[in-house]
Amino acid sequence: MPKPSADFNHLNIAALESRRAEDMARLIERHNGTAHVSPSMREVPIDPNRDAIDFAYRVMTGQIGTMILTTGVGFRYFLKAIERHLDKQRFLDSLSDITTICRGPKPAVALRDVGLTATFRVPEPNTWRELLQTIDSHVPIANQNVGLQEYGVTNASLIAGLEARGATVEPVRVYGWEFPEDIGPLEANVQSIAAGERDVLLLTSAHQIVNMLRMAEQLNMVEQLRRGLQSTVIASIGPTTTQMATECDLHVDMEPSHPKMGHLVTEAAARSEALVNSKRRLQVIVKSKGDSVTRHPSHNSLFMRACRSEATERTPVWMMRQAGRYMAEYREVRAKQSFLELCANPKLCSEVMCTAVDRLGVDAAIIFSDLLPILVPLGFELEFVRGDGPVIHNPIREASDVSRVLPLDRPEELDFVYETVRQTRADLPETMPLIGFAGAPFTLASYAIEGGGSRQYSNTKKLMHEDSSAWSDLMSKLSDAITVYLNHQVAAGAQCVQLFDSWAGCLSPADYSKFVLPWMKQIIAGIDPSVPVINFATGNPELLPLLRGDRRTVVGVDWRISLDVAWQRIGHDCAVQGNLDPTVLLADRDVIRKSVADLLQSVGDRPGHIFNLGHGILKETPVEHAIELVRSVKELSAR
């Protein structure tokens, strides 16, 4: 929840809000920000709108079976466009006879204002994905003419999704987005962002992004604006706006817990100083490596192409915990030092991983490390106890304990991990992608609160339900630290990163959505946009649709659900990783090969599949069986 003590600490805050520009400026100033609010657009009706009039006649003559309303303002403009040319009440009566789908509350209110009730209302966050899910659950549209009242910008993904379901889509554009009549403030804001004079940019609409870039083009300074935005924290009000930013190759750093202006400003104020510092530290790292951006030699590897859902000659394969106790080489190294000592030795970490990669013949490497060392600079006393695993000696047990959790102000305290990335990257073949990783915030919070592993997570859930403010504070600190940590791994040489949420399966979808999902969105949005992000949570297949993140996110799937069913739930536009049961590797080679064949057959030749286990390799696994799995994937998936 937003915290009233949030403070911008006099940072320069840009916003492009138009309708509520004065409200936005007051909110920023109330939180001690220096407000630079420049209206970026005005809605312009298309008049006369012959297409809207023709469409209304098609509704009245029974030629449209379903109508999708995307905005309340747009529906009202639509009625204004047609009311002078035909019988408005007859049109409304005809509209009441067909299926109407409203993308959120505002178009539903607009319908209610004229005496109609929406047949279906799309749930939050009201993106095109939820719209398509609503259709899949409730509205068969095959062989139907579907009317789509659009924004000013056509949503190609939505139209493609409707057409894939067998519909003939009839878009109706009812207004355009033009520049405001006074473009001076917008010009000044664009110039200031380009010059690096704004610390934070608040976005409350997808069309603000379009008009900001249009203005930059008009000023002949698109590249300067993009460079300025690289060091500006971008806060988006929600997924639809974030999607537009992503499509425009802009990197969103945070979304609020709820898609409201008040939440956006308050939560941005609470986190802006840390985000600004983190983003500028990352820029220093990037600049120190040189300003020119070149693709890594692994960019066109099977693994990286599958992450991007591109077609591959065969399915890429790697395995979680592929360097571990099942290998004699690892046991020999491990016998000479404690686990934490091994994790702190980059050369040995690289050695055990490169040995595993060579023996198995996998298509990607993951750094050898652990989820928990990140907790040490945050103030936790961590020890790995033989037979008991990780133990936190000063766990959080009361809400007041959260105050002693430190921010990751000195990410260099984890330099042994970044050096492991650098060393492993140097020791691997250049064409082999390297994966960095971190624990997800819920799993780290569970360790920090329980003091170790748990079966019930009773202390974690107690704090989560009992004190939402303390929980949000803890998740905020962990999420900020994870984002900084992963970005430093990318800067050190990782081509991909994975988030491990080992304990998220203990949560219901409702609790995950409320207590975890906002922070996962924040982390994914904050990770360097040049790398894929694998989001892996175990234990509850009902969480899968919530894991898909942004368009470069790969969803990791455990073995508790068939991969073809999982992929359907997630959405076939998203790449997936998984999901053979690790115990299959304890069986003989014929069983392994048949299990691989069955899994590959279940997903067919659809691009975007990375073969992996549904969890890490078990310590009892014969090395030869792991090698057989890799060999089988390579042979059986060849196209």
Q: So which residues are the catalytic ones?
A: 321, 325, 334, 370, 447
Q: What are phi and psi of 79, to 5 degrees?
A: -60, -40
Using DSSP's 3-state secondary structure scheme, residue 455 falls into: coil
What is the rounded distance in angstroms from the CA atom of residue 427 to the CA atom of residue 82? Answer: 68
How big, in percent rounded to 5, are the helix, strand and coil portions of the chain?
A: 50, 15, 35
Residue type, 309: S
Q: Checking DSSP bridges between strand 145-149 and strand 66-69, what pairing results, if any?
A: parallel
Task: Supply 513's token pair.
Answer: 């959505």
Separation CA 275–CA 259 (nearest Å): 19
Residue recorded with tokens 């971008």 = 234
Picking from 421, 305, 439, the residue whose alpha carbon sits closest to that of residue 363 is 305
Report CA dihedral (245, 512, 532, 447) to the nearest 10 degrees. Answer: 130
As a whole number of angstroms, the distance between CA 273 and CA 7 comes to 9
Q: For residues 487 and 521, is the Cβ–Cβ distance under 8 A?
A: no
Looking only at the bridges linking them, the beta strands covering 175-178 and 42-45 are: antiparallel
Nearest to 15 by CA among 222, 234, 163: 234
Host H or E run for residue 50:
helix 50-60
User: What is the distance in angstroms between the CA of the first residue and the CA of the last residue of the chain?
Assistant: 50
Give CA–CA dist 521/252, Å, rounded.
10
**Strands 576-580, 12-15: parallel, antiparallel or unpaired by DSSP?**
unpaired
What angle is formed at CA 527 by the lines to CA 248 and CA 289, rounded to 5 degrees? 90
**CB neighbours of residue 48 within 10 Å:** 12
Contact 149, 74 (CB under 8 A): yes
Residue whose tokens read 């970005």 = 487
Residue 143 CB neighbours (<10 A): 9
In three-state secondary structure terms, 43 is strand
Cα 244 to chain centroid, rounded: 14
Q: Residue 521: which H helix or E strand, with range?
A: helix 517-526
Q: Please, which residues bridge with residue 609 across strands?
A: 576
Pick the closest to residue 421 from 483, 368, 379 (CA basis): 368
DSSP codes, 64-110: -SEEEE--HHHHHHHHHHHHTTS-HHHHHHHHHTSEEEESSHHHHHH
Q: In the numeric block, which tokens belong to residue 320?
A: 């979680």
CA–CA separation, 366 vs 425, rounded Å? 10
Question: Which DSSP state fits 361?
Answer: T
